[in-house]
């Protein structure tokens, strides 16, 4: 969360004339429910299976740039599939910076409600530690620490 996947993805897709797909929005559009509603109805396991099916579906599209949710690479064969289907990029951001970004937007993210300061930072550190082994399997690991102030510069460096 808050690494800049959607922001950078949209800019990069536009500059490379690719269609942009945010996997979470795609799932919501297909099922006419929010991710939160799907989680509530199906539980995490049910959501992750649905997410995997949608990932495999959009992964077969041509000329697309796909932004996945932060948990997507960490389940089933998703990271292997993404690496086989295209070029993967991990937008790496420190836990401290992620916590700062999330602190400003936590009202939009149900999993973060009621967490702030040290508790939020601890949650981010724990989540990142559990996921980073999957993220580091991306074809490219890209330092996106300065994303909030240098979006166009980051896209320019990704295009090289």
Give every CB contact of residue 58 below 8 A, 6+ residues apart in sequence: 21, 23, 26, 64, 66
> Does the reported pTM lie above 0.95?
no
Instruction: For 5-59, write each residue's pLDDT tens digit.
Output: 998 999 999 999 999 999 999 999 999 999 989 989 999 999 999 999 999 999 9
pLDDT, averaged across the chain: 90
Superfamily (CATH) of domain 5-143: P-loop containing nucleotide triphosphate hydrolases (3.40.50.300)
Lookup result for tokens 């690991």: 141
Q: Is the pLDDT of residue 116 over 90?
A: no
Segment 60-72 mean pLDDT = 96
Domain ranges of the chain: 5-143
Q: Is the pLDDT of residue 148 over 70?
A: no
* pLDDT, position 104: 82
Question: Token pair of 10, please?
Answer: 């949209």
CB atoms near residue 72 (< 10 Å): 23
Do 138 and 131 touch, CB atoms closer than 8 A?
A: no
Cα 126 to chain centroid, rounded? 17
Segment 127-132 mean pLDDT = 96
């Amino acid at each position: 969360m808050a690494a800049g996947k959607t922001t950078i993805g949209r800019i990069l897709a536009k500059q490379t004339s690719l269609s942009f797909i945010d996997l979470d929005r795609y799932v919501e559009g297909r099922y006419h429910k929010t991710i939160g509603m799907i989680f509530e109805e199906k539980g995490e396991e049910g959501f992750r299976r649905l997410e995997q099916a949608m990932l495999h579906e959009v992964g077969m599209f041509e000329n697309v740039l796909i932004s996945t949710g932060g948990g997507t690479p960490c389940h089933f064969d998703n990271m292997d599939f993404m690496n086989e289907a295209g070029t993967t990029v991990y937008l790496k951001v420190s836990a401290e910076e992620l916590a700062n970004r999330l602190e400003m937007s936590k009202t939009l993210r149900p999993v973060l409600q009621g967490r702030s300061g040290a508790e939020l930072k601890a949650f981010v550190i724990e989540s990142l530690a559990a996921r980073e082994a999957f993220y580091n399997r991306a074809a490219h690991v890209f330092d996106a620490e300065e994303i909030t102030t240098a979006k166009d510069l980051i896209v320019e460096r990704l295009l090289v």
